[in-house]
Structure formats: C-alpha cells, structure tokens
A and B are shown apart, each in its own frame.
Chain A
Amino acid sequence: MNIVVCVKQVPDTESPRKLKSDDSTLDRAAADGVINELDEYAIEEALRIKEAQGGEVTVLTMGPGKATESIRKALAMGADKAVHLTDDALAGSDAFQTSYAMQQVLGRTGFDLVILGSESTDARTGMLAAMLAERLGVPQLSLANKVDIDGSAIRIQRQTDYGHDKVEATLPAVVSVVEKINEPRYPSFKGIMAAKKKPVETLGVADAGIDAGQVGLANASTEVVDFAEAPARAQGQIVTDEGDGGVKIAEFLASKKFV
C-alpha cells in the first residue's frame, strides 16, 4: 500500500507566534519550528496501517528549507521516504493554493491513502483534507477516530458533535485523523540514525508541474488586510479564598446577571 502522510512544520505553540509586518505572513523566524502535533497522529496511523498491510509510507511536506527538521522526525518515527515541496514561489500560499500544489505532487507520487492531521495548530483552517479530497475526486474520510482497512475497503468512525458516523468507502482515499486516535510513538535512537539515510526528494514548483501563477502570496484567493495584537483584557479582580470564595463568585455572577 502506498501511503502518503502530509506533514506541516508550524511555529511551536509554546513560543511567541507573530505575523510579519511587511506581508502579513507567518514570521517563521520568531518561533521555533516543530512538527504540527496533530500530524503526529497521522504519521502514527500511517505506520500502523503499513505494519498491518505492508507497503510504504511517504512523508509529504510543503514549506521552507527548515521544514526538513519535521521530515526527519517523521522519518525517525518510521516513515520510509519523504518528498519536500519547497520553492520561493509557494511562500504565502493559502489553503486553496496549498491543496492545489499538493494535488500536483500527489499526482506524481501516486497514492492509495493520503493521511493528514485534522488541522494545523497555526492556521487552523481545518479545510485541507476536504479540499484535497475534492480536488482528487476520492472519498473524504475525515475526522477519523478509528480506521479499518480490508483489501480495498476502508471504514472509519468519523467524530461528530453527537457521537460518530460510521463511514465506508473504497481506496484510494483521503483520511484525516483526530487527536487521540492513537498514541504516537517516540523516535527510537535506531530510528533517528536510520532517518539520516532515508531518501528525501526535494521538488520545486516546476518539478511538480505546479503553475507558479496559481500559487504564492500574490495569487492567493484570500488576503490579510491588517492585523494587530489583541488588546489585553482589563485586569480583573482576584481574591484569595477566606472560606467564602464560592459565595463571592456567586455574588459576582449575580452582578453580571448570570444567576
């Protein structure tokens, strides 16, 4: 089985995240880059499927040169090889354009299964899996908290607000997984050493058959008009409990008409 797992390098959520004042894109220099933590569940699920079904796991990432750090981590976890789509022409692409660029690469690598995390912790659009399924014309098996594959039949449990939907389809398909579908493994020392020797193919837009006129900030379907730091919340009242803390909160709630 040819499994492609899509991985994004994002700014560490623990460090200060900023936009750049000149073009309102992510300031990648301001924060440490880490693998999008929700993608780790996708990598783990890909590895488990490979272990059960056989096949190969390819990591696909789009991003600047630094994203190789995230690729190495995915390879250290056990992925077999990687494709790194990187080109200045791609900088500032929005979800619409990113899905187009990835569609082009996936057309080149081929796939039985594309697996993604449910969203990235930076842009948080939550749209990429749906966009990719739409562009590729394959089943959208998104927000899965359980995946079962039997031959070319695939079944997932799709997490919903009311519980879950049981969904069936036939491969090839796009799957996105939610947090806690599994427990992502830590890379072993052996895995880290082996990752250094695994092939990483670097592609530019021309290599991948991507029309440079359809990607990048200048051609984006959306634009950031302006941004500013959120005004700090007014300092609230903080009291130390002296045996009546609960009553005091109730009084506050009453003053705000909540009770």
Chain B
Amino acid sequence: MSEILVLVDHVDGDVKKVTLELLTLANRLGDAAAVWVGPGYEGAKDKLAEFGAKKVYQAADEELTSYVVAPKAALLAKLVQDKAPAAVLVAATAEGKEVAGRLAIKIGSGALTDVVDVTDGFVGEHSIFGGGIIAHAKVRTGTPVIAVRPNSVAPEAAPASPAEEQVSVELTAADKAAKVVEKVVEEKGERPDLTEAAIVVSGGRGVGSGENFSIIEALADTLGGAVGASRAATDAGWYPHQFQVGQTGKTVSPQLYIAIGISGAIQHRAGMQTSKTIIAINKDAEAPIFELVDYGVVGDLFQVAPQLTEEISKRK
C-alpha cells in the first residue's frame, strides 16, 4: 500500500481530534504516515500510534513553526518529492487550507478543500452552497492534496507501531518572509474547540443579549459541548466573532447541534447543515431551522433551554 501523508494538527503537542480522523481516513486509502512539525512529539506519539500512524515523519526544528504556514508546506513538498506518497491529507481548518494551497503551488498539484469524505481514487465529497448540493471532485494534476473538514470521519483506534524518521527541510527566504513574533492564547475555559466539538450549542437573535448567552453556555457545559453563535448574535456584539457558525464564519459538523433562538437562514445553515443530529428551540413555528431538525420544540427558549439543562443534570 502506498503512503498517505497526514499533517498532524496540534497546539504545542496537544493533538487535535481531526488528526485522528485523518489517520483513520488515510488507512482506508493506503498507509497513514503522520507528519509532525514542531516540538512536543514525545507527549503525542502514543496517541498517533493508537490511531493507526504506521509511520511518523518528525521535524522538530522550531524554525518550522516560527513563520506563517510556508514552512509546513515546504516540509510537505519535500516529503512528497522524497517519499512519493499517494496523497496528502490536512485538516480543513483556516490554516490547514492555507497549507494545502501553498503545497499545491509548490508541487504543482491540484488541491481539494473542505471535503467531508474521500473514497477510492481520491475522490473527495463536498457539501456546497450551504449543504444544498453534494459534489464529488478529484485532482487531475500531481499528487492529490486534500483538506478534510473536521468531524467528517469517526476516528477509529487501530494500534500500530510506527517507524519514526527524523526529517528536515531547508527553508527559502520566501518561506521565512512572515515571522510569528508572539502566539497569544486567549482564555477559552474548558470548552472544546468549536470546529472539533462533538456537541455544539448555538444561540441566535432570540437570545436577546450578551448576558443571556449564559443560558447557552450553561447548556453547552452540561453536555460538554462548545458554544456557537449565529451571525445575528455576533453582529449584535452578544458573543465574540470567532464563535460565529455560518456562511461567513466557522463550518461545524458535530454529532449533535442544538440551535437556540436561531431562525435558520441560509447564512447559518451553510455552517451547520452537515451536523448529524440537529435540535432546535424557537418560538416561531415557521422558522426554517425546523426543516432541518431531528427534534424541535416551538416555545420560549428562556423556559425550554434552562429546563433542558436542569433535566440533563438530573439524569447524569
């Protein structure tokens, strides 16, 4: 079987769940070979092995994480040249898509972004135009570079004993043109990342104020989920912009999505339509969000949501 390179997404050694999803997917298409960039590998190696990394290319040089995106693409380009993998998979996060873009140019390959599945022949499945159309696409030129949407594949444990190989790449001046001088971590508490979370609870216009978002947060915390917001809520300044789910915000695809006080305009649907189970609470029975739901309650969110939080707490 040929190797499939998987760029490990991690923050200082803390491996993101999407990486485990990519390893699972890579092993369906070939043999998963993880590519580690930066420090912290020792703390993460067991997890990569547990989820099926049959090989690990490790580039610990801190220089590779000191510049915006280009060094990661340069390393992957070198590995594509040296190891001739069948494809390269990255997470379709904002940065992952940029890595895919630069890599595609460096190696002269086509790139697919934000696919929700990859099947034989490296055909990528896309959910486009707000989830209204399912399109399949493939790369015609070069080694396929594919960015996969987080939460699209269920990660499966498949213990392996990866061979480790130290790798490096010489960076050009252009690769080092945008220097990261400081990484600023903003406090986000114990909640999971929005795009990675298995459960997302989002609030919209109906929530009415920033203070009222405590209702959304309480439910999310009871479920161990992330908090999202519709554009109406972020535009109103009730919740920070980086939590916006929708056409111009984050795309999420959790196991469970709970939309509270969200009408379900296309702007919002585009960011959550591939969620597996959808629940809505809205006082307007005609709200388009109800077309998507598995279960919906027409009612006052200020009654229904706190009751739901309390009921879940009781059942735990």
Give residues in A with beta carbon < 8 Å to B: 13-14, 16-19, 24, 37-38, 94-96, 99, 118, 121-122, 124-131, 133-135, 137-143, 157-170, 173, 178-180, 220-230, 233-234, 236-241, 243-250, 252-254, 256, 258-259
Contacts and interface: CB of A to CB of B under 8 A. Distances in A.
Nearest to A251: B311
14 contacts: A17-B130, A129-B101, A131-B104, A140-B68, A140-B178, A161-B11, A163-B186, A165-B183, A166-B183, A222-B141, A223-B137, A244-B307, A246-B303, A253-B256
Interface in B206-253: 223, 234, 241-242, 244, 247-249
Interface string B282-316: 00010000111111111110011111111110011
B127 interface: yes
B139 A168 contact: no
Size class of B's contact patch?
35 or more
Contacts of B59: none
Contact of B315 (A143, A161, A245, A254): A254
A167 B180 contact: yes
Interface stretch (B28-36, B43-51, B106-114, B153-161): B106-114
Nearest to B135: A227
Contacts of A250: 308, 311-312, 315
Nearest to A243: B303
Interface of B: 11, 68-70, 73, 93-95, 97-102, 104-106, 109-114, 123, 127-142, 174, 177-186, 188, 193, 195, 199, 223, 234, 241-242, 244, 247-249, 255-256, 266-267, 270, 273, 277-279, 281, 285, 290-300, 303-312, 315-316
Given A130-B101, A246-B308, A247-B307, A230 B132 contact: yes
Nearest to B314: A250
A23 to B, nearest CB: 13
B78 to A, nearest CB: 15
A95 B298 contact: no
A121 B133 contact: no
Contacts, number: 289
Contact of A137 (B174, B247, B312): B174
B129 A241 contact: no
B127 A140 contact: no
Contacts of B279: 249, 252-253
Contact of B134 (A173, A180, A227, A243): A227
B178 A167 contact: yes
Contact of A221 (B110, B134, B174): B110
B309 to A, nearest CB: 8
B69 A142 contact: yes
Contacts of A220: 110, 140
Q: Name the residue in A124, A138, A234 with the highest tally of chain B Cβ atoms < 10 Å from its Cβ.
A: A124
A14 B130 CA distance: 10
A236 B294 contact: yes
Contacts of A254: 315
A166 B67 CA distance: 11
B312 A222 contact: no
A238 B290 contact: yes
A99 B105 CA distance: 9
Contacts of A94: 110
A24 B293 CA distance: 30
Contact of B98 (A129, A229, A240, A259): A129
Contacts of A248: 295, 297
